[in-house]
Structure formats: C-alpha cells, structure tokens
Amino acid sequence: MTVLAYDIGGTRLKAGLVDAGQVAAVAVADTDESAGAAGVLEQLVVLGRQVAAGQRVRAVGVSIRGVVDPRSGALIDVNPPLACLVGAPIGPILAAEFQAPVGADNDARMYALGELRHGAGRGVANMVCLTLGTGVGLGVAVGGRMLRGPRGVWGILGGHFTVDMNGPRCSCGNVGCLESLIGAHAFVGYAAERLAAGAPSLLAPDALEPAAIFAAAAAGDALATRTVERFAAVLACGVVSMIHAYDPDLVVLGGGLAGSSEQFLPWLRDYVPTHAWTQPRGRVRLAVSQLGDAAALVGAAELATDDTWAW
C-alpha cells in the first residue's frame, strides 16, 4: 500500500500518493485560511479523498509550516498565515478519515528528509538542507538521522540566524535574520526599493517577482544583477554559518528560488570553501535539490512509515 502525504503551506495545500520515494496522483488547492481551522481541515480531507480515489493507504504523512510538537504532531507555533491551525486536531481528523496512522512535522525538515532518503542526499550521513522561498527553512541530518529535539526546533531555525545586526525586522521579531534579507519578499523588496529610487532597469515595478528578477539578471540588467549578487552574498554567509554550526558533508539548496541556482551556485562554490573553517577546509559539497517541489511529500511519507528517522 502507498502512503498519503500532505504538504501544508500558507498559500497552497498539496496531497499526493507516495510509494518508494515516487509521488503520483497529486492534487493542489489554495489554502483558504478565511474558513478557519475547520475549513482548512475539510480541504485536506477532500484533497486526500481525491488522490486516494477509494484505495486503502498504509499511513498518512503531513509536512506543515511551523513548529510541530514532536510527541503529538500538533502545530504549536507558526506566523500567519496558517495560525488558525495552531492546536487544531490535524492528526486525529486525518487518522479517522483514512483509518491509518498519521505523522506530522515541520515542512523544511520534511523537505530535507525527502532529499536525504531519495534525493541529493542519498548515501550522505551529515547534511544541511536550506529551502529558499517565501521564507528560509532548514533541515539538518547527523549520522543519517534528522535533528528534531525535545521541543521540535533542533535544526529548523537556520533562517533566523542573525547575519546583519543592523538589518531589517524579521517576521519572527528578531533583526537581520537570514530570512529577512533573502526570503522571496526581501529579494523582491530590495529591487523594488531601488526601482522606486529611480535606478534604471528593464524590470517593471508592477510585475516584480523572483522569476522576473532572475530573468532580467540573465539578460544583463544591472539592477537585477545587483539584486541577485546581493542574494548570493548573503546566502553564502548563511551557508558558512550552517557549516560552522552543524559540520555537514553536504549542503543542499532547495525551494522555489533554487530553481534559478545556476545564477548563484557558482558564486557560492567560490565563496564557501574559502570562508568555512572546516576540517579539512573545503571538504563540504554544495548541491541543488533533486526532488524539487516533491521533496516535502516524499519526506512526509518517510516520516509516516519509519519511526527511526529522527533524534
């Protein structure tokens, strides 16, 4: 039997059937937080029924944004959107609907677990996986197992490492976090501020998004190029900090912004080996996610069927 896996985000819900690391029968819907917890839970049930199509599932795995209690699987802390799901009975509702055990954990950790077992991290014991999107998520594997910890926060707060003590306020309340400087909103915001100040560019102020900035940089636009270079520089500093904190053999870059990695990965590969103080220096490899948008679903399926994956 296959596993029903969910990836619950602030703007999108996704469900899929996973078997041996392969995802099939995916269904996606916009997250309707305005309907409250009951409405979002009903959306999950509907999506699950759609992809399961009446067949029995072995287990249910849930990848969800935020801090998840490692014992109960309940969401205990998350910034809006998805705040309506804090404390909601996600596990019991899905377990009753599909008559199967349910496991739930943080989305960045599940993304990393998918990459560790079936993606870029296969065969690697010690790995850091950064997800670059609206926020900056992190999952850490040590000795082939994911860090989780007694309160569920080991290894997931890398996006909130301070990299600029005089930087902008972050959504977490801290100042100068990695996420506040290179999350998708910050990435776009940097270009928008300079456009508003009169910097010449091919970019259209009313159509700014990461894909447009990366495309303009590839076309030689000076402002877009500067935006990408700044993103790469801050990310490189963050990667060095992750290497110093967790001593990995491999750093995997995933998430939506990693789809344009050809524009910043070479820069990281020059910077990181000369700034990371490892033993021996320069031994840590950098790679891009192999599973892409499916990684969190694959990780959630691994969680649901294997209770030895984490510390």
Q: Is the domain of 58 the same as that of 204?
A: no
Residues in the chain predicted with pLDDT less than 70, given as ranges, are 311
Q: Is the domain of 61 the same as that of 130?
A: no
pLDDT score at 308: 74
Q: Is the domain of 222 the same as that of 78?
A: no
**Token duo for residue 88:** 């909601």
Q: Is the domain of 9 the same as that of 129?
A: no
Residue with tokens 């469900």: 15
Q: Is residue 16 part of a domain?
A: yes
DSSP character at residue 8: E
The model carries a pTM of 0.96
Q: Is the domain of 149 the same as that of 246?
A: yes
CATH number at residue 178: 3.30.420.40
**Token duo for residue 311:** 């510390």
Q: Is the domain of 126 the same as that of 54?
A: no
Q: Is residue 270 part of a domain?
A: yes
Three-state DSSP class for residue 163: coil
Q: Is residue 247 part of a domain?
A: yes
Burial class (CB in 10 A: 0-12, 13-18, 19+), 150: exposed
Q: Is the domain of 185 the same as that of 97?
A: no
Q: Is residue 157 part of a domain?
A: yes
Q: Is residue 114 part of a domain?
A: no
pLDDT score at 210: 97
- Residues 117-135 have pLDDT tens digits of 999 999 999 999 999 999 9
Q: Is the domain of 101 the same as that of 47?
A: yes
- Residues 207-223 have pLDDT tens digits of 899 999 999 999 999 99
SS3 assignment for the chain: CCEEEEEECCCEEEEEEEECCEEEEEEEEECCHHHHHHHHHHHHHHHHHHHHCCCCCCEEEEEECCEECCCCCCEEECCCCCHHHCCCCHHHHHHHHHCCCEEEEEHHHHHHHHHHHHCCCCCCCCEEEEEECCCEEEEEEECCEECCCCCCCCCCCHHHCECCCCCCECCCCCECEHHHHHCHHHHHHHHHHHHHCCCCCCCCHHHCCHHHHHHHHHCCCHHHHHHHHHHHHHHHHHHHHHHHHHCCCEEEEECHHHHHHHHCHHHHHHHHHHHCCCCCCCCCEEEECCCHHHHHHHHHHHHHHCCCCEC
Q: Is the domain of 209 the same as that of 150?
A: yes
pLDDT score at 309: 74
Q: Is the domain of 59 the same as that of 171?
A: no
Q: Is residue 151 part of a domain?
A: yes
**Token duo for residue 38:** 């009951």
Q: Is residue 298 part of a domain?
A: no
> Peptide bond before 280: cis, by omega within 30 degrees of 0?
yes
Q: Is residue 300 part of a domain?
A: no
Q: Is the domain of 102 the same as that of 137?
A: no
Q: Supply the range of the domain harboring residue 281.
A: 120-289
Q: Please give the tally of structural domains in the chain.
A: 2
Q: Is the domain of 141 the same as that of 63?
A: no
